[in-house]
Chains A and B, each alone.
Chain A
Amino acid sequence: MSNARLLCVVLVACLVPALMPAVVSAQVAPPDGARGTVELGIAQEWFHRELEPQPYHDTRWSITSVVFTYNVSDRIGIGVQGGLANFESDDFAGSTFNRFSVGAMGSARVLQLGDWGVGVTARYLDTFDFDTSETSLHKRVRSIAASVELMRGFAVKRLPVGVRLGAVYTNDLVETFAWGSDDALASTSGGALGAMAGGKVRVFPAVSLFGYVNYVEYVQGGVGVAIHAGSGGL
């Protein structure tokens, strides 16, 4: 199945208003708010994986992206993610990369007992680093992640806080196209299980701060800030 078709399937699956209950969470930002809630923010995420075969001494990368999430119902959330960057890396001297990131995510709160809840989330993220230098050392990373989380909401000094803790599954595929070749050197982490923890706090009526940490072979994580809007918009 091609990337575009897989992305469409994930998005369409997320768009189905679903008969099962849920809420927006995604890997990036935890659930927060009722039906119609929108969050629009910037996230910085760090990845560190062990690949086989190992194309580089150490495989770390980070992305900065815009994240849009929407609560389709009180318990179902969907979101999209995208970004663009231009950068150079000490690990690839002489290369200048244009980075594209495109992703989709969804989540469902399958159980709610008072302030406690159990949710599931999934995300597909595709990142392509286009090398504009002579070496044309293009790279692509396709990340699939899913998690099962125990969530709790409470207030600290009247600020709404959400925390989550759970198990996460990730599967990363890294492709390297040396000299602009069509044939990629493909490396994968394979499927790996780990643990995750995350949190979000609303610091102003319309501003949320969020972050998460995963431990899958190594520590990885992300932080971000978002505009928070209820069902009536801003």
Chain B
Amino acid sequence: MSARRVFVVVLLASFAALCRVVPVRGQVIGPLLSRGTVAMGLQEQWTHRTLEDSYRTTDWEEHDLSVVVRWGATEFATLSLQGMTGSGPWQSDHEDIQASYQVGVGLQATVWRADDIVITFGGQLDYKMRRYDADTGNPPVLAWTASVELLGQLDTMWLGAPVALWGGPVLSWIVADYERLPGFQNPQRYTEQSASGGVVGITVVAWRHVDVSGHLLWVENPQPRVSILYRF
């Protein structure tokens, strides 16, 4: 391993260690970016998980709009950051959301590369909070999601535009804490019923800068995501 690569690994490891102090989390899955590329934009993601505690199961369905930043830190590693605050129809179908916050981070690294095919390993952590209007009786929710995936990526061209087709197996864990309503109930913790699944996606870069991406994550239930980013 070259000295430069050792230096980069040490830097990224240091940053990861710092992130343990500030546990930011995220859930952006996508193709590996080339070194130095920065992409920023919006992602809409639908979540549909089947959660359970000791006594019952419940479905969690929602969708989020978040700001996404992706950076090709090196030729073999891409960092993703994700965040959003606010409430509104673009944040959820629930009209009674009082406040919503989300922060996250993901890191994707090359495992193997040959010509137009890249195999990467990625991991994401995401943490979110939802508060509903008190008169609805819906308790606030604090939830974190952790995912890892092994992705195969094929880079090709279509109508002169770079296209990446990618997909692979995914493990996705979720812990949702339904917090207490004052004087009413104790917090309840739910976790996923099943963590295993897969993802397939396509990314097209139009006009050299407009990164349009869509993918279907299937863990327990289908959960599509679409994004539009500007590649600088």
Contact of B135 among A78, A182, A234 (CB under 8 A): A182
Q: Is B232 an interface residue (CB 8 A)?
A: yes
A128-B101, A180-B181, A180-B182 known; A227+B15 contact, CB < 8 A: yes
Q: Does A104 contact B (CB under 8 A)?
A: yes
Interface residue B131 (Cβ < 8 Å from any Cβ of A): yes
Q: Complex formed: what's the CA distance from A159 to B187 in Å?
A: 53
For the residues of A in contact with B, the DSSP-based class is strand
A219 adjacent to chain B (CB < 8 Å): no
CB distance from A181 to the nearest CB of B (A): 6
Q: In the bound complex, how far is the Cα of B48 from the Cα of A109, in angstroms?
A: 45
Give B81's nearest chain A residue, CB to CB: A68
Q: Are A2 and B103 in contact (CB under 8 A)?
A: no
**B73 an interface residue at 8 Å Cβ cutoff?**
yes
Report how far A83 CA is from B25 CA in the complex, Å: 9
B91: chain A residues within 8 A (beta carbon): 4
CB contact between B134 and one of A3, A130, A140, A181 (< 8 Å): that residue: A181
Contact A40 to B15, CB < 8 A, known contacts A132-B142, A233-B73: yes
Contact with B along A74-86 (1 / 0, CB 8 A): 0000101011110
Report yes or no: A206 in contact with B22, Cβ–Cβ below 8 A: no
In the complex, A231→B180 CA distance in Å? 48
Whether A130 contacts B135 by the Cβ 8 Å rule is no
The answer to whether A234 and B8 touch across the interface, beta carbons within 8 angstroms, is yes
CB distance from B211 to the nearest CB of A (A): 13
A6 to B75, CA, bound (A): 35
Contacts of B65 in A (CB 8 A): 4
Q: Say whether A179 faces chain B, with CB atoms less than 8 Å apart.
A: yes
B residues in contact with A182, CB < 8 Å: 98, 133-135
Q: Per-position contact with A for B87-112: 1 when CB-CB < 8 Å, else 0?
A: 11011000000111111010000000
A36 and B15 contacting across the interface, CB-CB below 8 Å? no
Within 8 A of B (CB), among A192-234: 206-207, 227, 229-234
CB–CB B22/A66 < 8 A: yes
Contacting residues, chain B, for A102 (C-beta < 8 A): 83-85, 101-103
Which A residues, 157 to 208, have Cβ-Cβ distances below 8 Å to chain B?
179-182, 206-207
For B72, the chain A residues whose CB sits under 8 A away are 233
Interface 1/0 per residue, A5-28 and B, CB below 8 Å = 111100100010000000000000
Chain B interface category by residue count: 35 or more
Q: For A179, what are the chain B residues with a Cβ–Cβ distance below 8 Å?
A: 182
In the assembled complex, A65 has its CB within 8 A of some CB on chain B: yes
Q: Which of B173-230 contact A (CB under 8 A)?
A: 177, 179-183, 187, 230
**Within 8 Å of chain A (Cβ to Cβ): is B19?**
yes
B103, A84: Cβ atoms closer than 8 Å:
yes
In the complex the two chains form, is B35's CB within 8 Å of A128's CB?
no
Interface presence of A38 (CB below 8 A): yes
Among the listed A6, A70, A84, A180, which residue makes an inter-chain contact with B24, where contact means beta carbons less than 8 Å apart? A84
> Within 8 Å CB of B37, what residues of A?
233
Q: Are B73 and A83 in contact (CB under 8 A)?
A: no
Interchain CB contact under 8 A, B129 and A128: yes
Q: Is A123 an interface residue (CB 8 A)?
A: no
Within 8 A of B (CB), among A52-67: 64-66
Question: A2-B86, A3-B85, A83-B103 in contact; A231/B36 too (CB < 8 A)?
Answer: yes
Contact A38 B134 (CB under 8 A): no
A232 partner residues in chain B, CB cutoff 8 A:
35-36
Report the minimum CB–CB distance from B8 to chain A (whole Å): 5
* Known contacts A36-B36, A78-B40, A80-B69; A136 and B133 CB within 8 A of each other: no
Q: Which of A82, A98, A233 contacts B35 (CB 8 A)?
A: A233
Instruction: Verify B85–A100 contact, CB threshold 8 A.
Output: yes
User: Which chain B residues (12-45) contact chain A, with CB distance < 8 Å?
Assistant: 15, 18-19, 21-25, 35-38, 40-42
Q: A84-B127, A130-B129, A229-B73 are in contact. List 8 more A-B contacts (CB 8 A).
A: A7-B85, A7-B86, A11-B67, A85-B23, A128-B99, A130-B140, A132-B177, A180-B182
Q: Can you list 22 contacts pairing A with B, beta carbon distance less than 8 Å?
A: A2-B86, A3-B87, A4-B65, A4-B91, A11-B40, A66-B19, A66-B105, A70-B69, A78-B40, A85-B22, A85-B23, A98-B129, A98-B142, A102-B101, A128-B129, A130-B131, A130-B140, A132-B142, A134-B180, A135-B182, A179-B182, A234-B8
